[in-house]
Amino acid sequence: MEFLCCFGGNTNPLGNFCIRHKAHTFNLYVAQILFWAIALPQTLQTGLDYSYGYKGALEANDVASLNGKLQSGRFGSGAFPMIFICCFIATGIFFQAMYEYATYVLPVDEEDDAAPVAAK
């Protein structure tokens, strides 16, 4: 896991965060891999055009889709918008956790700050 957690784990602040928050880091990596490996190539291959109806989409995707189904677009599988939403949310959660980690201040106990009481 240290390989995926910023090389050096506890030696730098980003690595320390990644080691302490493995769930957020893993969530971010999986979402990014899904987006860049599935959603984007599929959209680049078949296009994303919402300007015509179902019949036009079938004709336009005859050559582009390998299995005869609509891969993307208005009547397609919805891979791009769904994976994009997952990627966006995972990235937001990761950076929110990173912000909270970076700005965390230890709570101060009021009793510890009191002046020492003189012994009777």
For residue range 33-50, what is the model confidence (pLDDT) as tens digits?
Answer: 999 998 888 777 766 666
More confident residue, 13 or 5: 13
**Residue 86 pLDDT:** 94
Close Cβ partners of 113 (under 8 Å, ≥ 6 residues apart): none
Is the pLDDT reported for residue 89 higher than 80? yes
Q: Are 97 and 25 in contact (CB under 8 A)?
A: no
